[in-house]
């Protein structure tokens, strides 16, 4: 007769999804709560940098596209909070942890969006990196997370494509527009590589996450995929690659790249990036201002429930 641990690992090996009511090691549950809630925080905080440009978009078409993208991100966040709640935690506690700085969100969203080209670079590079990561996560062992990723990935390709199309318009536009595109690429390229996390050797969670098939590919493998796919995209734009040390390695069949500034990475994830304080203060303000909506929903649902039990 197998122990619960043995049966759990048998299911993991057999590629059976772990569902909310299944037995799971407490450390597996805690790791999922950490990763999925931080993924949700990232989606919601990520609405701010792009949201800044909705009223400044250069055309009605660009405004409509950006509006729908930002709305999608909010929906992804709510979807991922629901997936986290299946692990027996309260959404209010997750949000409190993010607002207090105890829980993280993706470092990339602590960089300011200074020009319209940044909106293109975010769609192209940030959503591009997110797609590489999230396609892999579609195969994660926890059922609700895997299903959330499958649904979210369907919307991400539109996010990446609208960003790259914006960059094509600028890079193939006037010299001033091309310079703006190059500036945005220079400022967002390296922080986009940081989205994949520290090197595998420095990753606190990767070993366990790979054993439990929470992660299906490592930080460095996913980062390499993104680096390789971005080279021809930069070439097509006619822009200069921000990594001066980038070199094709025929033996590896991949590009060797320069080193990421890990001091900057840890500085940002430990709360000292350009916009960390601003992003969290904005979230706290919006959350407080929206409390009446949540209270009204709760009161309405209670009334509906009371009606059905009369």
Binding site for ligand 3HC (CB under 6 A): 34-35, 38-39, 42-43, 46, 73, 76, 104, 106-107, 126-127, 130, 133, 156, 194-198, 203-206, 209, 219, 269
Cβ atoms 46, 110 nearer than 8 A: no
Tokens 């094709």 -> residue: 248
Q: CB nearer to ligand 3HC: give 179 or 260.
A: 260
- Pick the closer one to ligand 3HC by CB: 129 or 180: 129
Question: Burial level of 264, CB count in 10 A (0-12/13-18/19+)?
Answer: middle
Beta bridge partners of 248: 255
Longest dimension (CA), the chain: 73
SS3 content of the chain, % helix, strand, coil (to 5): 70, 5, 25
Nearer to ligand 3HC (CB atom), residue 95 or residue 269:
269
CB of 138 to ligand 3HC, least distance (A): 12
Minimum CB distance to ligand 3HC, residue 34 (Å): 5
Q: Do 19 and 50 contact (CB within 8 A), yes or no?
A: no
CB of 122 to ligand 3HC, least distance (A): 7
Q: Which two tokens stand for residue 133?
A: 């990561």
Buried b (16+ CB within 10 A) or exposed e, 135-164: bbbbebbbbbbbebbeebeeebeebbebbb
Compute the least distance from the CB of residue 69 to ligand 3HC, in Å: 8
Minimum distance, C-beta of residue 30 to ligand 3HC, in the bound complex (Å): 10
- Of 205 and 241, CB closest to ligand 3HC: 205
- Judged by beta carbon, residue 179 or residue 220, the one nearer ligand 3HC is 220
| Structure tokens that stand for 12 in this block | 């993991």
Which residue, 104 or 178, is less far from ligand 3HC as judged by CB?
A: 104
Min dist CB 170 to ligand 3HC, Å, is 20
- Cβ within 8 Å of residue 153, ≥6 positions away: 131, 134, 135, 138
Rounded to whole angstroms, the Cα distance separating 290 from 214 reads 33
Question: 152 in helix, strand or coil?
Answer: helix
Q: Which is nearer to ligand 3HC, 11 or 76 (CB)?
A: 76
Residue 269 CB, shortest distance to ligand 3HC, in Å, is 4
């Amino acid at each position: 007769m197998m122990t619960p641990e043995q049966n759990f690992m048998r299911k993991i090996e057999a590629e059976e999804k772990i569902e909310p009511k299944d037995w799971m090691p407490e450390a597996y549950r805690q790791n999922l709560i950490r990763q999925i809630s931080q993924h949700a925080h990232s989606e919601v905080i990520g609405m701010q940098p792009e949201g800044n440009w909705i009223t400044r978009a250069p055309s009605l078409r660009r405004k409509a596209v950006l509006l729908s993208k930002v709305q999608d991100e909010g929906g992804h966040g709510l979807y991922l909070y629901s997936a986290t709640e299946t692990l027996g935690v309260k959404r209010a506690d997750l949000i409190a942890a993010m607002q207090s700085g105890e829980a993280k969100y993706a470092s990339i969203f602590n960089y300011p969006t200074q020009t319209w080209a940044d909106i293109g670079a975010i769609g192209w590079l940030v959503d591009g990196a997110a797609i590489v990561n999230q396609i892999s996560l579609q195969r994660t062992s926890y059922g609700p997370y895997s299903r959330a990723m499958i649904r979210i990935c369907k919307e991400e390709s539109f996010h990446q494509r609208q960003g790259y199309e914006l960059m094509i318009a600028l890079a193939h536009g006037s010299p001033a527009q091309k310079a703006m595109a190059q500036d945005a690429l220079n400022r967002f390229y390296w922080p986009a590589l940081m989205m994949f996390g520290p090197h595998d050797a420095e990753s606190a969670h990767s070993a366990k996450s790979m054993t439990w098939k929470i992660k299906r590919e490592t930080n460095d493998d996913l980062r390499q995929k993104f680096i390789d796919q971005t080279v021809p995209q930069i070439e097509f734009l006619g822009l200069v690659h921000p990594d001066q040390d980038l070199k094709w390695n025929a033996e590896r069949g991949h590009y060797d790249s320069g080193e990421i500034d890990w001091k900057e990475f840890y500085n940002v994830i430990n709360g000292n990036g350009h916009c960390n304080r601003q992003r969290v203060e904005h979230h706290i303000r919006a959350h407080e201002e929206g409390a009446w909506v949540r209270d009204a929903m709760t009161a309405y649902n209670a009334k509906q429930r009371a009606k059905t039990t009369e």
